[in-house]
Amino acid sequence: MWEKIKKLLAYYGPYKFLLFSDLFFAVVGAMVTLAIPLIVRYITSEVVYFSPNEANSAILRLGIFLVILVLIEYGCNYYIAFLGHMMGARMEADMRSDIFGHYQKLTFAFYDNQKVGHLLSRITSDLFDISELLHHGPEDVLISVIKIVGSFVILLQINAKLTLVAFAFLPFMVVFAVHYNKKMKRAFSQNRARIADINSQIEDSLSGIRVVKSFANEGEELKKFNVGNDRFVESKRTSYKYMGIYHSGLNAMTTLVTVGVLVAGGSFLTTGTAEVTDLITFLLYISNFTEPVKKLVNSAEQFQNGYTGFERFLEILSIAPDITDKPDAVEVGNLQGDIEFKNVSFHYEDNKEKVLNHINLKVHAGEYMALVGPSGVGKTTLCSLIPRFYEVSEGAIQIDGMDVRDMKLANLRNNIGIVQQDVYLFAGTIMDNIRYGKPGATDAEVILAAKRANAHEFIMAFPDGYDTDIGQRGVKLSGGQKQRLSIARVFLKNPPILIFDEATSALDNESEKVVQQSLEELAKNRTTFVIAHRLTTIRNAQRILVLTENGIAEQGTHEELLAKKGVYESLYHMHFQS
């Protein structure tokens, strides 16, 4: 636990001045509130016995002094509320930057097992709770300790017996708070897990809203949401039950302090061991004593929220990316594109069954290679190993004679362009989405890339041309238009190695022809891997690789493979019969 707290405190590093100034003004404000009842005591015990003129003069001076104290308290509270909160916001931004940067480093293997809603909750609600703890925690504890200790010392000087009566309730309050804090911590932890589930379900439902509406399944989605929502309410019910006991119990105890002081003070008045001014001062100080106790209680609750969120934050940061640069990784520039698979085998982390088994393959620079075969035999996986989206389990993949694991990851991926079946376009303009292939590209370069991808004409048909906002995930575009934008991205990137992962399988015949032309234009003089279900799209491939569950079954040109009358021929005839 202490190691985690050290990591939490490290986020104060860049903001030490703000932290210490925040605490300084918190101390000053607390001392002002402690001083005001003493001035009232002085007026009621001393000033009232002055001569009328002296009393009026003293009260006026003390009144002005009280106004000055109020202004000081105002300034202190303003600084704490404004700049103190800004300190918390900046620390929250630092953490959000850290966790988002870490998300970017994590590999496909991590995202294969995660829900977006859960990851989102760790970067939003969790971090807000942590920032509230980092801002309010130190100042609330410091103010509370100063007020409690200060009240105790001052009241002890006034009447020791009455002070002991007032503070006799403290041990019971502490035991009560500690007991129910533990119960609340468990309940808050469950709340976070449940709200993450809801976030994930909402994200899933809204992302697939067109599918939902096409099947008229709004009711089903609502049912699924209500199940998660009800589970969240149930977990909240448990936490609120403990919170209710917690707060109402402490409020009752703080009220008992007042009752105890009134009863004991009244008794001491009758025996002459206390004066009326003592009782008035004690009653004024009770709020200075009980409010900090409540604040400490709230701080404890805040600590549960914030610390639970920080534990979840650290969970993500502790996950090391399983694919990283070696310490001695080499920077590479533009590669030629000679690729060789040497005895490559692969299986996923959670499944020991091999997807690829002892693959040996050599692809020359500029060669157009097609991969065909039944679903599930590892065509996409084989291509995903080249840019190291996954790491080979055995063997090695070399480009230009160098193991891809010896290259810097960013350099390797800069040499590879990928066009997938499921195109992802970001919210924004057409210009922004094409420029994603080369962030520093000029407008002229973007337009040239679009022309080469056969996209310029349809782009210019929009009223805003390249400045057209395409909506979330490009919902305003057709499938063929999306594909041509993704091809334009790769033209702009201009890599020597290409991977087309079933890039035309979801398109109609007309769109397929246009996209196919764009792909063939893009593939010229580049090492190209094409994964295709539609065998008509790969007739012109220089080499076709037929994959089965047992590995590479056949390879050759379209005509050579048909002549063999093997797996490829049967796939070809099945395709045309269908």
Q: Are residues 181 and 34 in the same domain?
A: yes
Domain holding 444: CATH number? 3.40.50.300
560 domain-assigned: no
Among the candidates 468, 494, 520, a domain finishes at: 494
d(CA 159, CA 161): 6
- DSSP string covering 521-539, please? HHHTTSEEEEE-S-GGGGT
d(CA 203, CA 53): 74
Among the candidates 317, 339, 361, a domain finishes at: 317
Beta pairing partners, 501: 420, 531
d(CA 340, CA 373): 20
d(CA 310, CA 81): 23
| Res 536 pLDDT > 70 | no
Q: Are residues 139 and 269 in the same domain?
A: yes
Spatial neighbors of 489 by CB under 8 A, at least 6 apart, are 417, 433, 434, 436, 437, 449
350 domain-assigned: no
What average pLDDT does this structure show over 23-38? 90
281-317: pLDDT as tens digits: 888 888 787 778 777 777 877 887 788 888 888 888 8
Give the closest residue to 481 by CA, choosing from 528, 442, 471: 471
**pTM (2 decimals)?**
0.69
Tokens of 307: 């610390």
Q: Are residues 162 and 281 in the same domain?
A: yes
Query: Collapsing DSSP states into helix, strand and coil, what is residue 454?
Result: coil
pLDDT for the residue numbered 297: 72
Q: How many domains are contained in the chain?
A: 2
65 domain-assigned: yes
Show the domain range for 138: 2-317
479-511: pLDDT as tens digits: 888 888 888 888 888 899 988 887 666 566 666
220-273: pLDDT as tens digits: 888 888 887 888 788 788 888 888 888 788 788 878 888 888 888 888 888 888
